[in-house]
Chain A
């Protein structure tokens, strides 16, 4: 769209998504191995092996390479004095505008994998909705959280 929000999320976020993708692919590969064993014992047709392999390759390509890449390129955010603007999405690009007046509270959160990469996600809650920026360097996330909560406090409350 016209002018995208300025900031991108951390490059390491891309790595984390690739890790998630690899994990999902590994689970799928396990299932495929199971199916392969069944195929062997029950003497199902040979071409099924090719199908299993193909599915894993395609899944791996999409979820380890392509989707994280597009998602990462899409993800933009910008925190200005009076509003927060977000952009994300894989097939459907969503652009979100949250006025600072509406922000009720900000949280940062860090799972084990995110912690390993020194990343954190930050959730911005309004009275009705919650918006998450998925991967920021921990220090950056803490700084952003502090900044948003200061900016949000200035605004008068209207619900």
Chain B
């Protein structure tokens, strides 16, 4: 039986071309950049006869090659549906075939770039649970129309429904599979402009931008004529420290504004929807991204608050989900980039009704408080000794760290806690930011209890529990809890319940 072959939208030839161009932009700049700095600038290239034109000739050959390559790639790429599989055939020189069974497909992620949007197209990334090998059984459809994307989704649904029926069909007459009713996706949350602004202004993105600028500048440090600058700087310094400070402030401000704008672009119109078995997250201004998370793949929820956001009652919520592709930075899916804690609870409760969202936490006992800073101080003490000895008396200023470490330790001690319900474990802890992990018992992979010699003397123990996250695990750990609490969690986690009987 011959199944209909589908092609990508022709624009994908152009997108392939642009993508190839992007990778070549650096060599191009070097080739032409070098020539510009030669005597006579660019114009000299045309004065030297054909030899001067070599870079241009090479450049245009490469361009033509890229363009043709892009077109051929598009021409060669076909996909179709057969035997409950998504089948793809592609390849520029070597023809490759990739068959992906529908029931292996974990999610279809849509992205709309600037080229896609005017034409109503999407880029579809097919994600499977992943066998651990990078790039295997994962496909990307560069540009297809919305209807085509919906068709893939429908075929997928059909195949998944058919599977159990097929086994039944072996015994009885085959039933016609009726077209599925389109599932309604309900909008649960739309990020308000205010939240978006707060997110942008309080995110750590500023550090990234500053370091990027620093790296960028350091690249050019050799080109800068320092002698000339030095004189100007001396002149500049005469204007006084005020101007220097103002300049630094201005640079920081610009960096901050850039980071704010970037964050706004990335998270514009952040929306959460859900239907029966998926959560959909849509976001982005220039490039619209849609991520779908199958609910049954969700392993746990992590709510994080850095001190600043904690002060104003805002939090970030991450979904720890199994599978996904390696090296994908969306591996940890941000369910809420930023949300008021009161507002998030009802939405979370609707998304995950089986979880308890405001459990009463059991805190660490008072006597464990010094465990949170004692060891750190011990590690620091040789540094203090060395600094105090070699840089006396100023080295002693390092001792300022001591109260800071102690205060952070006390803070961590206050935060740490756990809550145990019949089917759920909640753990809260703090590095500097506060994290709260919500885990279902059936999702916890391993529970570990550790006890050092000193903890044993004080009847304390640390508790770690690991869930699967992406290809790896994510561990929640509450250090220095009551030993009895650790035993309780172990007993709760033990499937056979031996320990519970003994208690």
Contact = CB atoms under 8 A, between A and B. Distances in A.
Interface of A: 1-3, 80-83, 89, 91-102, 126-129, 131, 158-159
Contacts of A94: 448-450
Contacts of B449: 1, 94-96
A68 to B, nearest CB: 18
Q: Which A-B residue pairs are the 7 nearest by beta carbons?
A: A128-B473, A82-B495, A82-B496, A127-B468, A95-B449, A128-B468, A126-B445
Interface string B456-470: 100001000011110
- Which secondary structure dominates where chain B touches chain A? strand
11 contacts: A1-B451, A92-B450, A92-B451, A93-B450, A94-B449, A94-B450, A95-B449, A129-B445, A158-B442, A159-B297, A159-B299
Interface of B: 297, 299, 322, 442-443, 445-453, 456, 461, 466-469, 472-474, 483, 487, 490, 493-496, 498-499, 502
Contacts of B473: 127-129
Contact of A128 (B442, B445, B490): B445
Contacts, number: 84
B472 A89 contact: no
Contacts of B442: 158
A97 B493 contact: yes
Nearest to A89: B450
B452 to A, nearest CB: 5
B490 A95 contact: yes
B448 A95 contact: yes
A95 B490 CA distance: 9
B452 A128 contact: no
A80 B496 CA distance: 9
A102 B461 CA distance: 24
A98 B494 CA distance: 8
A133 to B, nearest CB: 15
Contact of B445 (A89, A91, A102): A102
B192 to A, nearest CB: 35
B466 A129 contact: yes
B495 A128 contact: no
A107 to B, nearest CB: 15
| Highest count of chain B CB atoms <10 Å: which of A83, A89, A98, A128 | A128
B495 A2 contact: no
